[in-house]
Amino acid sequence: MQISIGALTLLNNVLLAPMAGITNLPFRILVREFGCALAFTEMISANGLVRKTGKSYRFLNSSLNDKPLGVQIFGSDPAVLFDAAQVVSDYGADLLDINMGCPVKKVVKTGAGAALLRNPEQARLILRAVRKATSLPLTVKIRSGWRQGEIKALEIAHIAEDYGINAVIIHPRTADQGFSGTADWNVIKVIKRHLCIPVIGSGDIRSPQDAYNMLTSTGCDGVMIGRGALGNPWIFRNIISFLE
């Protein structure tokens, strides 16, 4: 099934998640050969892009057969994210994602990633700044909240829609869960029920049946595959065939 995110129409609704140390150019090209509709770079520091550090720019390496390309950036300063969004636009990305879900301590301690789930006002300022900076299709990737009892996903999703973000990607684990336990797909269902923009679900998809179950039980518009693609790039082909 095709899915449109802003002006970008994808051939299907099965996407590759941004994964640090994993989703480099060779990996992205590999999964595209198995039908992945949209692949993301590794998470890139907005500060690094603005300061023009070589490491950050290397994450933008791409090629003609690496399309359409999603670039994910993270940071906590709206002004820096504004500038970084313009850098990404100039590099020819097809879509920009703002990370508001990474639970890694070195990211969270800077106020970025999942820390923004505890600071909706800062998230609002960031999304407003990035929307002003670029005409690219924009997404935001979030978790369900910081911890149980602090479930902020719906609030952040509403903010995203209000400020012109074109889709919300939700991994329904809390930040303090990391990758333990199970993803609460009901969070995806709730967000989808309340938004008009596309909602893409992620978390615990390791088979075509899992993808089908998420789509049908939550009503989400697409699925994003992360760890389920490690050592298993053909999962994209298998899911697409199963859904057909």
- How many Å apart are CA 224 and CA 200, to the nearest integer? 7
Q: Are 7 and 29 in contact (CB under 8 A)?
A: no
Instruction: Report the 10 Å Cβ neighbour count for 144.
Output: 29
Q: Which member of 36, 102, 196, 220 is catalytic?
A: 102
Largest CA distance in the chain: 46
Instruction: Please name which of 97, 171, 170, 92 lies closest in space to residue 130, comparing C-alpha atoms.
Output: 97
102 catalytic? Reply is yes
Residues 6+ apart with CB under 8 A from 46: 73, 74, 75, 77, 80, 81, 83, 84
With both helix axes pointing from N to C terminus, report the angle between 208-218 and 185-194 in degrees, rounded to the nearest 10: 40
Per the omega criterion (within 30 degrees of 0), is the bond before 68 cis? yes
Residues with a known catalytic role? 102
